[in-house]
Structure 1
Amino acid sequence: MNAGASAAARARQVGRLRWWQHIAAAVGVTTPGMAKARRQAGNWSAGAEGERRTAQLLAPLLREGWYVLYDLAVGKRANVDALLVGPDGQVFTLDTKLWSRKWRVRLVGGRLAHGDHDRDRQVDTALWETGEVSKALGVPVTPLIVVHNAPVDGGGFHVRGVAVFPANRMLELLRHNVGGRLNPREARRLAQLAEARLPSYVQ
């Protein structure tokens, strides 16, 4: 599945108005339900756009022996935005966030925050998804959160074992993690195993 496909589909689904809402909208009436649906659709659309931007940034890695799989199902109702297998056989899960540039991404009392908004649940989600991927593949997996738009304190930091960093540092950090160690056979094996055990996510 292409990057952002399931998020884009979800945006269309939650933003779809019922027949009577179309009539209300035509005469300039907005109900609380319509406003909520628009907000949710906007959030899903932003998620899809962030995932597409991440895919564009990751494209050069495909020529360097990396494998990248998008929108993989974990559990019954969750998905991994991207799973990366490095040319050395290291495995990463990548959670993409497209957050407003108005506020900084930072740590507040050991919790992930975007301005005054607590985002620590995103860390819990990344850790859970990574645990599921690790069980499926039988190898350690490193969770990453990449942030578009919003500035990230210190150019990146760790919170409870999850690396959080700005999108413009993503390739630099991933390449540094490999550090010249190559194991193309293991990388290929793990990518094939991920394709077999982690199906594409469908809303």
Structure 2
Amino acid sequence: MRRKARHVQNCNAGRIGEQRTAKLLQPLAGEGWHILHDRALPTGKANVDHVLISPAGALLVLDSKMWRRDWPVRLKGGRLMRGPRDETGDAEKAGAIAGRAAAALGVSRPTCLLVVHNAPVAGGGFHVGDVSVIPADRLLELLRLNAVGPPRPREARRLEQLAEVRLPSKVTRG
């Protein structure tokens, strides 16, 4: 019974983290960003927490984490550590999901961000492989800084339309 209760608690924390990230992303919609939440991959049960398409048409995939505030998040020997726990698998899973989402959309290089709520993130963020681990309070700053390239609204809209079809809403798919 304890395992089931822990699973429910983790799912609730995950949902809250996703909702907080969604709220943080709201201002970007008025800046030419296309934002989709809780998307299904074409196969399997995994979901994509947030799909962003920058005004320049770049694909970004975000995974939200709601972690304990008393367990700092840091890089140790190339591993993602949250307090005493090795969470490298979470970063690897996020990177794999980003790769699958990109493949579904015909995009070669997505940007993958692991967005951490509550827990302090060492150095204001770091990389684990191709995944950037960042504190939620720096999300908009880092997205805006990395939205490089001239605006390509047609390409961004085309990619959003493709994502709406190939990465359907997890809520409507079930």
Count of residues in Structure 1 that have an aligned counterpart in Structure 2: 170
Q: Are 1:199 and 2:168 matched, yes or no?
A: yes
Q: Which residue of 1 aligns with 2:123?
A: 154
Alpha-carbon distance, 1:180 to partner: 6.0
Q: Are 1:46 and 2:36 matched, yes or no?
A: no
User: After superposition, what is the alpha-carbon deviation per residue over 1:50-98, rounded to whole angstroms, capped at 9, x for unaligned?
Assistant: 0000011000000000011111112211000000000010100000000
- Separation in 1, partners of 2:57, 2:148: 12
Deviates more, 1:126-135 or 1:149-158: 126-135
User: After superposition, what is the alpha-carbon deviation per residue over 1:132-175, rounded to whole angstroms, capped at 9, x for unaligned?
Assistant: 11111111211110000000000001110110000000000000
User: After superposition, what is the alpha-carbon deviation per residue over 1:2-35, rounded to whole angstroms, capped at 9, x for unaligned?
Assistant: xxxxxxxxxxxxxxxxxxxxxxxxxxxxxxx2x2
- Separation in 2, partners of 1:65, 1:107: 33
- Separation in 2, partners of 1:119, 1:181: 36
- Separation in 1, partners of 2:72, 2:121: 6
Higher RCO (CA-CA < 8 Å; seq separation 6+): 2
Unmatched segments (≥5 aa) in structure 1: 1-32
- For residues 109-148 of structure 1, the aligned pairs below 5 Å read 109-139=77-107, 140-148=109-117
Q: Are 1:164 and 2:133 matched, yes or no?
A: yes
SS across alignment from 2:133: strand
- Separation in 2, partners of 1:40, 1:123: 19
Q: Which residue of 1 aligns with 2:30?
A: 63
- Separation in 2, partners of 1:65, 1:172: 15
TM-score, reference length from structure 2: 0.94
Q: RMSD of the alignment, in Å?
A: 1.1
Larger radius of gyration: 1
- Separation in 1, partners of 2:101, 2:130: 16
Alpha-carbon distance, 1:124 to partner: 1.3
- Separation in 1, partners of 2:119, 2:163: 31
Aligned-residue identity in percent? 52
Unmatched segments (≥5 aa) in structure 2: none
TM-score, reference length from structure 1: 0.81
Runs of 4+ residues deviating >3 angstroms: none
